[in-house]
């Protein structure tokens, strides 16, 4: 067995270990649920790989997985409906203000006529 004749110094040891660097693992988004997943691995949240269920149990539940994906889409549709409702409320307020402006102008005109 090979045994070193002399002990390695701290500096030489540090120089040798200078390339031992930790790297961040690469992550991607799951196409089914959108969770962060390590590349080339099964999603821990929904149990799919490349959009397909992995185990036999999950394959039986495949329509349920598709339904959850649809639910996500409907949630975004609800938020857009909320945004539309808020826009309609703003428009309604603008219409109310516009209807008030002619009334104010009419009052101002009446006051001017009475002043003459």
Q: What's the pLDDT score for residue 40?
A: 92
Mean pLDDT of 92-106: 70
Spatial distance between the Cα atoms of 31 and 94, rounded to a whole number of angstroms: 42
Strand-pair category, 36-38 with 27-29: antiparallel
The secondary structure of 70-106 as a DSSP string is HHHHHHHHHHHHHHHHHHHHHHHHHHHHHHHHHHHHH
Task: Name which residue leads in pLDDT, 51 or 95.
Answer: 51
Q: How far is CA 44 from the centre of its chain?
A: 18
Q: What's the pLDDT score for residue 13?
A: 94
Token pair for residue 23? 């790297």
């Amino acid at each position: 067995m090979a045994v070193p004749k002399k002990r390695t110094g701290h500096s030489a040891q540090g120089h040798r270990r200078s390339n031992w660097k930790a790297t961040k693992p690469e992550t991607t988004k799951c196409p089914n649920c959108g969770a962060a997943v390590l590349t080339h691995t099964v999603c821990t949240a929904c149990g799919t790989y490349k959009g397909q269920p992995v185990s036999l149990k999950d394959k039986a539940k495949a329509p349920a997985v598709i339904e959850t994906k649809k639910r996500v889409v409907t949630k975004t549709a609800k938020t857009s409906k909320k945004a539309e409702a808020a826009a309609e409320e703003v428009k309604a307020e603008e219409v109310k203000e516009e209807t008030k402006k002619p009334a104010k102008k009419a009052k101002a005109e009446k006051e001017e006529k009475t002043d003459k």
